Amino acid sequence: MAILDYENEFSDAQAVTVTAASTDYVDLTNTDPQYVGGIDTLLIVRVNTLFAGGTSIIASVETDDNSSFSSAATVVTGATVLTAAAVAGKTLLAFNLKNADLERYIQVKYTVSGTMSGGAVNAYLCHTDDSGVPTVS
């Protein structure tokens, strides 16, 4: 099990019923340099609470030089996960930041299709992932 640092969380049981950004972002200038250059660091996005309604959800990682993400670039986009498969514990995205081309800020964007009536996600940085899900590099 990963040990989580509050400062490196993007979403903590964040309800997602419409397309939205994570409730928090990470300022990489305030993060230990090992997190993004020295060792493998994973950005994990997992379903916290079962999704209902809607058609699907997609998690993507965005980066920008400003915290308003007014000119955000998408770094990676996860697979489309159908609502029926978006159950608690399902990994939506596991991305290794080690060699990623990142600007100062990063956030997670959740794109939903249809009208979700429920569902929540967790997203965070960690050094290990025990889910067995392959990591996108």
- 17-65 pLDDT, tens digit each: 999 999 999 998 876 555 555 567 889 999 999 999 999 999 999 999 9
CA-CA distance, 109 to 12, in Å (whole number)? 14
Domain boundaries, the chain: 6-126
Closest CA to 46 of 137, 133, 136: 133
- Predicted TM-score (pTM) of this structure: 0.88
DSSP string, 77-107: E---EEGGG--TT-EEEEEE-TT----SEEE
Closest CA to 122 of 11, 31, 41, 21: 11
Given CATH 2.60.120.1110, say whether it is the number of domain 6-126: yes
